[in-house]
Structure 1
Amino acid sequence: MKLELNICHLYPDILNLYGDRGNIIAMRRRLESRGIGVTVDECSIGQPIDIDKYDIFFIGGGQDFEQEVLLRDLAGGKGRDIRTAVEEDKVFLAICGGYQMLGQYYKTWDGTQLDFIGAIDVHTIGAKERLIGNYMFQTTPESGGTMVVGFENHSGKTYLGESVAPLGMVVSGFGNNGEDQTEGARYKNVFATYSHGSLLPKNPVLCDFILKTALERKYGAVEPLEILDDTLENSAHDYMQRRLSKA
């Protein structure tokens, strides 16, 4: 049986800060290198989404005003579809603004509240000062237990509800809010994080964990993924890990 995954890139023309599209490139390359079939479709404003077709949904980061542009499109039915896909254990990778968008709301520092789709129980409060810089976090055992390096740049501080676990714990940097050491969110098969940079090319272990999660949801138990030559990826990862460990 030939394995294959279908990936939906949501709002690629609007949510694509700091090379977030590189996550799509990394997933495609790592699947193709193993002989696993992969298709990537883009879905933006005004386009319907067929949640039954896709195994992985990717949402990149955007600025506050770009998130506001999306609210009407999400209210037109796409938000409901995304909530359904999340509850059906579809795999999501959501970065920064995409992460916030999956949550309940974003309240700006001056009190304006943007209600988002409520697919996961998190909320975000804006601050005047930005949380910015290279950072590092250790994912929880349930998310692979690997060290992740990335770049964060957000003024929103995100807080997790009781039903949501962190993706990992901050080793260096700010993470969700700079207060409780949590970074990102994990709910069902949602992987949400503030990590730009882009995330997956220099964190191949996490990339493979996400891909294997999608394969197992679709096919049940699968063989371990073929080991790839990750010399360049690991060099980039290890350099940044050493640099942050000295900070």
Structure 2
Amino acid sequence: MTMHLKLGWLYPTLMGTYGDRGNVICLEKRAQWRQITVEVIPLDKEAPLNVWEEVDLIVGGGAQDRQQEIVMRDLQGAKAEQLKALIEDQVPGVFTCGSPQLLGKYYEPALGQRIEGLGILDLVSKHPGFGAKRCIGNVAFEITAEPLATELKAKLGDRPIAIGFENHGGRTYLGEVQPLGKVLKGYGNNGEDGWEGAFYQKAIATYAHGPLLPKNPFLADWLLEKALERKYNTEIHLDPLDDQLARQARQTMFQRLTLSVSSSPI
């Protein structure tokens, strides 16, 4: 049986500021290399509601404040309710930088009015002002959110460590939602509490660009497996791919960040 996935890409024109389309490409290619077909569907102003209802996997990227306001004006009513329904129904997704802010309760920009979010994730984001230092640089964090951490550790044989690059002015503060992981290097959500990202149902929210998935292919495969299991109602074990180059790149980054980690989670 040929398996097929519909990948919904949230507002690709407005929310693709920091190269996060690489997450879309990574998921598409890692599926295709296993003979799984992927249809990439833009979830934007032109997409009818029935298209939103059919997606198996969601990717959202970063955006500037102005673009986020445009998206939130469109992402109201039935579209907002459908996105909430997808996440609550265990549709897996990866949401980077601006996207988690939209999924949260609100974002307060450095200038202008508060941007109300969808309230799917119990978090708020605030920009401390133009005089504040941006959170920029390489970031590494141990994934601690459950059951994600346990499932990844079973596959990797060791604690799962993700790497990426962060570039954000806003600071995110979590309420009753799991952090995605514990910061080893970098700022994470706010540079204060040591947490990075958030995890809810099967939605990964993070400030880590890179883009995230090519640097951490085990996360891409987890998302693909969960999307396929949900769609086909059967346990999925993807065939391994040759990730030697990715492993070498990760080892170089670990050395650059002077992290003492074993080779297992690479």
Structures share fold, TM-score greater than 0.5: yes
| Percent identity of paired positions between Structure 1 and Structure 2 | 42
CA distance in 1, matches of 2:74, 2:112: 23
- Pairwise CA RMSD of aligned residues? 1.8
Matching of residue 134 in structure 1 with residue 135 in structure 2: no
Does structure 1 conserve the Cα–Cα contact (< 8 Å) formed by 2:53 and 2:82? Answer: no
**Alignment partner of 1:196 out of 195, 199, 209:** 209
What is the number of residues matched between the two proteins? Answer: 246
Structure 1 contact 6–38 (Cα < 8 Å) conserved: yes
Q: Match of 2:226, as an amino acid?
A: T
- Matched with 2:63 is 62
Q: 1:234 aligns with which of 232, 238, 247?
A: 247
Paired AA for residue 5 in structure 1: L
Q: Structure 1's 73 and 223: CA in aligned 2 closer, same or farther, altered over 3 A?
A: closer
Q: TM-score, normalised by structure 1?
A: 0.93
Take 1:167 and 1:220, find their aligned partners in 2: how far apart are those partners?
Answer: 26
Q: Does 1:153 align with 2:157?
A: no
1:53-202, aligned counterparts within 5 Å?
A: 53-109=54-110, 112-127=113-128, 128-140=132-144, 142-143=147-148, 144=152, 145-162=159-176, 164-202=177-215
In 2, the alpha carbon distance for the partners of 1:42 and 1:99 equals 18
What is the alpha-carbon distance in structure 2 between the residues aligned to residue 18 and residue 111 of structure 1?
22
Q: TM-score, normalised by structure 2?
A: 0.87
1:214 aligns with: 227
Structure with the larger strand share: 1
Displacement after TM superposition at 1:77 (Å): 3.0
Deviation, structure 1 residue 165 = 0.6
Secondary structure at 1:19 match in 2: coil
Q: Is the 8 A contact 1:12 1:44 kept in 2?
A: yes
Q: Which runs of 4+ in 1 moved over 3 A?
A: 109-112
Report whether the alignment pairs 1:41 with 2:45: no
